[in-house]
Structure 1
């Protein structure tokens, strides 16, 4: 407890050296001290809420209005100024304080707090003001439609679970309880949420396309599920699939299990993966034959001049977007389904609207999928519908041909990795190999790309037949040789 006293003293401005004392704490001591200080903080919050309720009580207008006498329009403004916090935080202190303070009847008789279980939990330091406000709002909302015993039982349950589940878990529990206690209120709440749905899209001064949205449950659920499913698959791939067919598997024999980890690592944040997943969903929708008619006719048009395409160093534009993109990004976009390239000469003369020689045909993509199975990047599990056909030798830069020997299927993220990081790709015996740039692997050891399961099984069976036939030939030869040797005797 000495450490707790030291830190509590530091909070009160004593001369105790709390900063240096932390270095002497054990791990367990540091955890216990943090817990004790959190409990102390919750009790301080409870006292602040009581004071806030008192300030609000004395700031009801007139000459005696306490807040106005101190130059503030309301008790909340006075509290925000005093604490240095936000108005919303001050308002929360007031509402929680009013709901958990003892009251008086019109005759002056003492009354218990409006929410006594919340008040007790606050006093004991087991409930924070933020959680108390979640419970308070819920109880006040359902009280007119639900009998008193049910409201009290709900209050007990929420106060008991709040320290265990945290604010997010408490919010989920409140939603379930509200639907259970007030089933007639579900539809009006649903209608209110649906009326508040909104999505804004704009391009900011820095060139980023911004989306800000809020969705009711029915509209938001499929969006949330689609993005979380794609991101979850990426996270599982990163966790479980260091090698596409086992930790040490390779076509040429066992490899070092740690060989490609650093080079193949996916360093995207969850937020970046969410953004990539949403973009993939949009690309898939634009290219789907089952998309609504309006989407099937929509095209992402990328305009680039021939000189930039050939040199790979210029820029391109995308219709509807102000910010130019690099020639490399334009090449990636042109390889995507649903994207129409417009080649122009300097001076804006249109030379070509997506030459067939530039793009892989549908039949060629089917053949590439038959070989690669989906994204060919080592360990990636993106299906064919999420991939683009990439020229291994770039069409303009390297004069690469649009044929099966020069094509490979890649998802959008790994297409970016190949273009941006400078990965090399070779196809040997209908198998892809990825060669990392020297800054990722100085030895540039090839990584075996994915292979379609059906293709893998076919290769395996063919190899077994070859070995079996070779063994039969050797066995037959040995038998004939043995028969030719006369028996002794």
Structure 2
């Protein structure tokens, strides 16, 4: 019997006998419960790392090229993920994630071997390295080696590391240095901003599009090509619709619906009396959200047929905000002439080697729509800006829009759009509420500054309703230092707030390229 297996069985006996029951946990005070959760989380993380290493090894021994000699195949499974799913009793997606995490831990062992001190003077346990970006930057290996090393030392959780790696994906040849730099930036943001795994994955996705705008533009065109609308009649007589929409089409379709149903969907509070009354009526409506959404879509279509939308939206006409930097706009304008030749079969002006139909065409630049992590092409943005239903917001190299300060308490509609595109959603650490569910918070309380009665874009941030109320209730405050925002919570060290905006990732990528 393997000594490793004996140790694991002994450990399992000790751990299961030591784990508290429900009554024991119920007797803990609130601070003790928080500490118990941290301790159990550490145990779970350590056990998860061992399972992940096993998962990667099982998957490697079950490679397809091994055929019937593969480990999984010998046990009646087609691949390692299926075998692991059966062994551990988990979903297939979790099995695939464990395999990826195990591969990263193996990468960390190669990039940072424990035996680096030498055989004679190496202690039993190598000293823990400093948790710094400088240390990760010096790690040898591929662009994703810093992620693996951060995972190994517990500086990133397994979910965070996997979300970061999956969000960035493998770069095109020649982009590895930029990917490595972005990796370090995102790890730093994660440390300072308490990113959730989902938030970190979305930030990585935005950064990937911003670093490789050419590929992002191609992916935007592919998404548009995949749109579809299908109708089925069920046996019950109900009609089912199956719709796949690209981000631009979704903004046109769902944006007005969500705006009309905002109070039921957890949207921001209203200040005008008419709006407050309408919101109260909607909140008291006995229909379910799904029924309301269905009825609203039908109403919108009927109003469109009769060309009578004014009464439906009143003063709040639906719009979609497009955020783009001046750099990406220049790309789009330069690409327009090249594209006309490219589509005509003339590739002499295309960047790089041209091979007829395999030529990718010029870099068209990218832009971002409200609340979406996926980019659209900047050439599409130029087209959409001509439409009344779209509002452009242009960002400079500092990440700020034009200062739109006014001598009034509330932010203007244009200011709100600027703040929305700059922040990309609730700025509170770990919150993933989108812009449409957020409110505008004055970081310099308007009533406390009688000599500066201005509502300026730089002094407003997005917060969802819950976190906006929380900050006011606990007398916390947000401070702006140059272009960065910091949350000062009573009794805690300052915590940096990070934007969820795609255009801000684009600006960071542009800075890195200069």
Q: TM-score of the superposition, structure 2-length normalised?
A: 0.44
Q: Return the index of the structure with the highest Cα Rg.
A: 1
TM-score, structure 1 length as denominator?
Answer: 0.46
More relative contact order, 1 or 2 (CA 8 Å, 6+ apart): 2
